[in-house]
Amino acid sequence: MLSMGAPAVVNPYNALAHSQSIGYISSHIGPNIFSCKLLSRGSSKSLAVTPDEPSDTREKSPVSNRLRLGGLGEDGLSYKEKFVIRCYEVGINKTATIETIANLMQEVGGNHAQCLGYSTDGFSTTTAMRKMHLIWVSSRMHIEVYKYPAWSDVVEIETWVQADGMVRTRRDWIIKDCANGEIIGRATSKWVMMNEDTRKLQRVSDDVREEYLVYCPTTLRLAFPEENNNSLKKIAKLEDPAEYSRLGLVPRRSDLDMNKHVNNVTYIGWALESIPPEIIDTHELEAITLDYKRECQHDDIVDSLTSHEPISDSVITKNNQLATNKKDGEYLTPFLHLLRSSTDGLEINRARTEWRKKAEK
């Protein structure tokens, strides 16, 4: 996760907890445009890694930057990179999984930071943040995929960061099919600052704000409309008894990131573990929203619970299936998800998903 060697957290949201829920996610997917150095607005040059980085990192970074199929946009604010979908990144449908999409988003966020010459230690913090032992933690993630790329398809992902009020920062993404330029996915996320030592949330100070605002668009740019979109929809807590469950999920070694905390993509997989097989067989995921509540470590045991979204928020289709109405007239099937600790029942993550019928072959 975000903090190296962090102690276990029983209640990590002591400050601002009444309005901000948080979760620990690999910092690569967060607001990774922070560094000791700042570029002038509009610059598209890559900087060398800052002097406080280890020498071996300084030597490796230029090579990796040259090999990547990506770089800053003309304004020096957003970052774009192309990826070929590999065979191990697709599922039984021969298309990329939602975990693949999330991993590529994470990679683009980290590469954005490195392209700007920012710290490559996985923290992506500013000079002021490091002095105050502050880190970024994610409070919310929303991903929509309109068409899943297939094996050997090439996608281009663009990302950028901007301020979001006085206490949060956001990172957005646009995903395009390189074959035709079609937008096939969008995503947005919200981030808050936490003190690495006390585990309390902290407001973004003027010193920190001045360090990263130089890289934010001068006019608000959003992957989704500011109003009337599901990225803003509040997720109701799923109450017992859940319709479907998968109990006793244990983090594998491969689920841990460089900071020895469960990686954010694992949360997505866990939430989907309790989706009923009949939905997996006949539908594909169109949208997922996640609210992160607390971190999960390697020795935690997790329960995954899923239920249909309450009927008050949905409609009944002619096949007697609970669904929400889609703009183009098709129906989406919505679910609520809850990840909780098996030992004490504490909430780890809540999520909402929408599923569309698979196209007939």
Point out the catalytic residue in the list 103, 111, 259, 264.
Answer: 259
Q: Is 261 a catalytic residue?
A: yes
Please list the pLDDT of the chain residue by residue as tens digits (361 residues): 333 333 333 333 333 333 334 444 333 334 433 333 333 334 433 333 333 444 444 445 567 767 888 888 888 889 999 999 999 999 988 899 999 999 999 899 888 877 776 665 556 677 777 788 887 788 899 999 999 999 999 999 999 988 887 778 889 999 999 999 999 999 999 988 888 788 788 887 788 788 777 878 888 899 998 777 888 889 998 988 999 999 999 988 888 876 667 888 899 999 999 999 999 989 999 999 999 988 888 888 999 999 999 865 445 444 445 555 555 556 789 999 999 999 999 999 999 999 999 887 6
Across 305-340, b (16+ Cβ under 10 Å) vs e yields: bbbbbeeeebeeeeeeebbeeeeeeebbbbbbbbbb
Q: Is 259 a catalytic residue?
A: yes
Question: Cα(157)–Cα(299) distance, rounded to whole angstroms?
Answer: 34
Q: Is 296 a catalytic residue?
A: yes
| Cβ proximity of 19 and 127 under 8 Å | no
Point out the catalytic residue in the list 142, 261, 308, 337.
Answer: 261
